[in-house]
Chains A and B, each alone.
Chain A
Amino acid sequence: MLFQSPQAIDVHRTVDVATPASWRAALPDQEHVPVLRLCDGKGPPMPGWCAVGSDLQGPEFEVVCGGINSKQPGYAAIWRQGNLLHFGFEPRPSEYNETGRRLLLNAIAYIARFATDRPIVRARSFVDPQGGGASIYWLDFMLHSPKADAAYLGGLFAVPWRERLASLDLADARAFVQERLGALCVDGGRFAFDDDALQLGVDVRKPGVLGQLAELLRGDSADRARALLLRLVPDGPGADTTPNNWRNWLHGREPAMCFDVHSCVWRLDPLAYWRGEKSADLSGPSRADGDAQRDPVAAELAAKIVAFHGGARAFDDLQCFTCRFGDERCLWDRRRGIFRVENGGEIPAGNLATPWQVAIFDTAADADLLRGGGPEPRPFVSGRGSFRELQERLFLPLLLLDPGTTLRRLPDDAEGHRQLEVHLAGRCTDLLEVHVLHVDASSGALLAIDETPRAGGRTTPWTIDGTMRVGPLLLPRKFVRNTNKSYEIEYQDAQWNPPVPEGADSKPEKLLGGA
């Protein structure tokens, strides 16, 4: 992809260069290697930064190509972790040749579509204030390289394992480690073997191990299984979780969990979780959102809709937004990635609904900062749902040309209006929801939205009744649901870039006015 579009690169325009000295051990019989030149002798003294390829393990990694500097051929120069594309080449645009400049442009276009993915795997770095982390690269080197050293292998481990390994020769030390790799864990900056995993005889790296441990919570090994689960799932439901709740928690998440080889723990792959897919099945370009090649007819209609509702440039200038709908008032501090919703509604006597006042949601992290409702066992109220509704209704016409959005032109509806199928993407977005927009062909005005929570699910048709001017934007104002139980949502008092009240990201009391 990176070599094909939007700027075509002829990957056959290689030149043969003498095999670099640092590659000769890996390519002993090769005098020359074909390379695609990115500079024609004008590059900086330092060609760039590359990373050990074997370190880049996890569902969110994708290695595109290597490059020549002082490292070996297995090092990666262009690679991706989630929404971060490492473009290791150092030259600036005027130092590149056409191929180099095209590759840079393609890199920018490629990563633009990773609106939802993010880094999952962690590795404590050599400049961490607590010291560097345990290195799987060096462990692998000591287990397999002819240059390995028994003392160094032992030095990778914390006590008491270090002493055990120090008493063995290299072959025995390697065998000792290999036999226990299924219980490998990280202890500060060094490796260790988890005693609970050893005693339970489980391989902590193996898919399904978390469910296996959850089953053990009801037996004689419950204490060990619980301790191991807590260590293996640091972002899990916590120490007080009952066996039933561990099973429930894992039920929806285990397929979306992935093993972090650097930290020796299991982490949730949020993209897999929100897409309802197995993390193991999601790799490389399949983790991107949006259209790899956007249908020009769909894009033309989308551009018309965006323009009618204020334009992409105007939407980019929206820094903060407030409005009221029903009993709720909300504030979206877009610059800081904060969404705040306040509830002024009173619950009628005899109604069992949960009272709540304020919910605050971090739209950048996709995490609750403050939930309304509660305490346990009463349910909590997250701001995520209200934020999603704001995006999927009010701002939907302005999100159509985002790189992560998927568009498909459908046949005109029975009234002759244009139809556009839309999937949004990005953190906080419901990745499975399908929207079909009904659009006035001449103006680009949005007339109605059909919402389907999942492909094949029941569709809710919303008719849009009027628009409201918010700064330079023209947003839908009122949504009417014409099903057997009709319902209306009207957005009012909308403001363009109002000041953000102090404490909007933290204060539990109402700040947005109203009752």
Chain B
Amino acid sequence: MSYHLPGAMFLLSLAVLAQDKTKNPALHVAFVGDLQSERGADFVGFLRSQFPRVDGVERSTCTPDQLRTADVVVLDWPQDQGVMLWQQDGQKPRQQPLGELSRWDRPTVLLGSAGLNLAAAWNLPGTNG
């Protein structure tokens, strides 16, 4: 592949590739993660550039009550704040940002290891990986 493109053509290709937010459904999204981190800020900023309403919710204090009206919840939860802690102390109370499985009714995207943590917490398939 050649990278020797004229400037105008390069800009045009960027415009074609960039996400067009008008194509996204008008969703109310709740992002649950570490809001103080660069990673959390990156997610909130990106989601706010794409959807009309994005709530940032701190994972360490999150309860399902805060998420009940969102169309989609996006959960970011690293392994060292989930299964790795629980492996160290199996009996320690576990803070689960989404509460009980039977009462979790929001469509949810589990980013990276959030899927492992949640599957482990709720005894769902997905912990063999």
Q: With an 8 A cutoff between CB atoms, is B4 at the interface? A: no
Q: With an 8 A cutoff between CB atoms, is B36 at the interface? A: no
Complex alpha-carbon distance, A6 and B51, angstroms? 12
**B68 CB, min distance to chain A CBs, angstroms:** 5
Whether A98 touches B72, Cβ cut-off 8 Å, given contacts A119-B101, A121-B124, A125-B123, is no
Whether A56 touches B108, Cβ cut-off 8 Å, given contacts A126-B120, A362-B103, is no
Establish whether residues A71 and B68, one from each chain, have CB atoms under 8 Å apart when the complex forms.
no
Complex alpha-carbon distance, A112 and B105, angstroms? 11
Q: Which residues of B contact A365 (CB under 8 A)?
A: 102-103, 105
Name B1-59 residues within 8 Å CB distance of A: 17-20, 23-29, 39, 42-43, 45-47, 50-51, 53
> Which segment of A16-24, A82-90, A273-281 sits at the interface?
A82-90
Q: Which residues of B contact A37 (CB under 8 A)?
A: none
Establish whether residues B109 and A90, one from each chain, have CB atoms under 8 Å apart when the complex forms.
no
Whether A121 touches B68, Cβ cut-off 8 Å, given contacts A87-B110, A129-B90, is no
Q: With an 8 A cutoff between CB atoms, is A507 at the interface? A: no
Q: Which of B74, B119, B122, B124 has the most CB of A within 10 A?
A: B124
Which listed residue (A7, A113, A125) contacts B20, Cβ 8 A?
Answer: A7
Establish whether residues B116 and A49, one from each chain, have CB atoms under 8 Å apart when the complex forms.
yes
Establish whether residues B42 and A118, one from each chain, have CB atoms under 8 Å apart when the complex forms.
no
Whether A92 touches B126, Cβ cut-off 8 Å, given contacts A108-B27, A129-B90, A403-B25, is no
Establish whether residues A105 and B24, one from each chain, have CB atoms under 8 Å apart when the complex forms.
yes
> Which segment of A243-251, A329-337, A467-475 sits at the interface?
A329-337
Establish whether residues B27 and A88, one from each chain, have CB atoms under 8 Å apart when the complex forms.
no
Complex alpha-carbon distance, A402 and B69, angstroms? 11
Residues on B close to A: CB < 8 A? Answer: 17-20, 23-29, 39, 42-43, 45-47, 50-51, 53, 64-66, 68-69, 71-72, 74, 79, 83, 86-87, 90-91, 101-113, 115-116, 118-129
Name A40-90 residues within 8 Å CB distance of B: 46, 48-52, 55-58, 61, 71, 75, 79, 81, 83-90
Which listed residue (A49, A101, A129) contacts B115, Cβ 8 A?
Answer: A49
Q: Which residues of A contact B27 (CB under 8 A)?
A: 108-109, 112, 403
Q: With an 8 A cutoff between CB atoms, is A400 at the interface? A: no
**B103 CB, min distance to chain A CBs, angstroms:** 4
Establish whether residues A364 and B107, one from each chain, have CB atoms under 8 Å apart when the complex forms.
no
Establish whether residues B53 and A55, one from each chain, have CB atoms under 8 Å apart when the complex forms.
no
Beyond A93-B42, A111-B107, 12 extra complex contacts between A and B, CB < 8 Å: A51-B115, A84-B118, A84-B124, A86-B126, A89-B112, A98-B19, A112-B71, A125-B124, A318-B69, A336-B65, A337-B105, A364-B68
Complex alpha-carbon distance, A61 and B66, angstroms? 27
Name A95-134 residues within 8 Å CB distance of B: 98, 101-102, 104-105, 107-109, 111-115, 118-119, 121-129, 133
Complex alpha-carbon distance, A83 and B116, angstroms? 15
Complex alpha-carbon distance, A365 and B104, angstroms? 7
Would you call the interface of chain B mostly helix, strand, loop, or mixed? mixed
Give 9 pairs: A residue, B residue, CB < 8 Å, sorted on A: A49-B115, A49-B116, A52-B128, A61-B125, A118-B104, A129-B91, A365-B105, A403-B71, A427-B105
Q: With an 8 A cutoff between CB atoms, is A135 at the interface? A: yes
Q: With an 8 A cutoff between CB atoms, is A313 at the interface? A: yes
Number of interface residues of A (CB under 8 A): 75
Q: With an 8 A cutoff between CB atoms, is A401 at the interface? A: yes
Whether A49 touches B43, Cβ cut-off 8 Å, given contacts A98-B17, A109-B24, is no
**A427 CB, min distance to chain B CBs, angstroms:** 5
Q: With an 8 A cutoff between CB atoms, is A262 at the interface? A: yes
Complex alpha-carbon distance, A111 and B25, angstroms? 12
Closest to B106 in A: A83
Which listed residue (A49, A108, A137) contacts B113, Cβ 8 A?
Answer: A49
Type the 1/0 row for A357-385, where 1 means its CB is closer than 8 Å to any CB of B.
Answer: 00000101101000000000000000000
Q: With an 8 A cutoff between CB atoms, is A426 at the interface? A: yes
Closest to B29 in A: A108
Type the 1/0 row for A333-363, where 1 means its CB is closer than 8 Å to any CB of B.
Answer: 0111100000000000000000000000010
Which listed residue (B26, B42, B110) contacts A401, Cβ 8 A?
Answer: B26
Q: With an 8 A cutoff between CB atoms, is A492 at the interface? A: no
